[in-house]
């Protein structure tokens, strides 16, 4: 299976880059992984709702250029479903059994995702009611994908 993560912004901190690199290495034995970074828009302090909407729309245009018609799209959104690790793994496994060969995960910028991206999503997933930096969310997503493959393969994982 091919897994693509489309995310807004670059990872600036070295410790996040190292964590992403480690999970890329670990996942290479389970799937073909691709990470696509799209440019984020600068958000001025005290931006109003209209400006925030424009920023999300510009980021959405960049995201949508990378969405493949043959892929199943899962967006990370705070209002999404909150699966536990085993049910997340089961979902990925079932998708593979049903013939899904490409999953694209989308992580928005600091303002979240524009509705145009949410609309094309097959599913919205949330890992918590808390808010995380989008760079950290990339690491968390990679870890959960890795954990899912360990669960699917019956390999040990920490509960």
Q: Cβ(78)–Cβ(131) under 8 Å?
A: yes
Confidence of residue 159 (pLDDT cuts 50, 70, 90): low
Can you tell me which residue has the tokens 């799937």?
31
Using a 10 angstrom Cβ sphere, with 0-12 exposed, 13-18 middle and 19 or more buried, the burial of residue 149 is buried
pLDDT digits (tens, 9 = 90+) for 38-53: 999 998 888 899 999 9
The answer, yes or no, to whether residue 158 has pLDDT greater than 80, is no
Can you tell me which residue has the tokens 């410790």?
15
Better pLDDT: 142 or 156: 142
Q: pTM of the full predicted structure?
A: 0.94
Q: Cβ(157)–Cβ(147) under 8 Å?
A: yes
Question: What pLDDT is attached to residue 132?
Answer: 87
Other Cβ atoms closer than 10 A to 47: 14
CA–CA separation, 75 and 86 (whole Å): 19
């Amino acid at each position: 299976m091919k897994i693509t993560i489309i995310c807004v912004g670059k990872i600036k901190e070295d410790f996040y880059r190292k964590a992403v690199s480690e999970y890329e290495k670990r996942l290479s034995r389970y799937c073909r992984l691709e990470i696509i970074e799209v440019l984020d828009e600068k958000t001025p302090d005290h931006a109003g709702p209209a400006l925030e909407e424009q920023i999300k729309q510009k980021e959405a245009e960049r995201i949508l250029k990378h969405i493949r018609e043959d892929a199943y799209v899962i967006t990370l959104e705070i209002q999404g479903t909150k699966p536990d690790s085993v049910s997340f793994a089961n979902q990925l496994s079932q998708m593979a059994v049903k013939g899904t060969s490409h999953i694209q995960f989308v992580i928005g910028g600091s303002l979240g995702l524009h509705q145009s991206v949410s609309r094309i999503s097959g599913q919205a997933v949330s890992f918590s009611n808390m808010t995380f930096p989008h760079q950290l969310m990339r690491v968390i997503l990679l870890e959960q994908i890795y954990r899912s493959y360990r669960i699917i393969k019956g390999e040990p994982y920490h509960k």
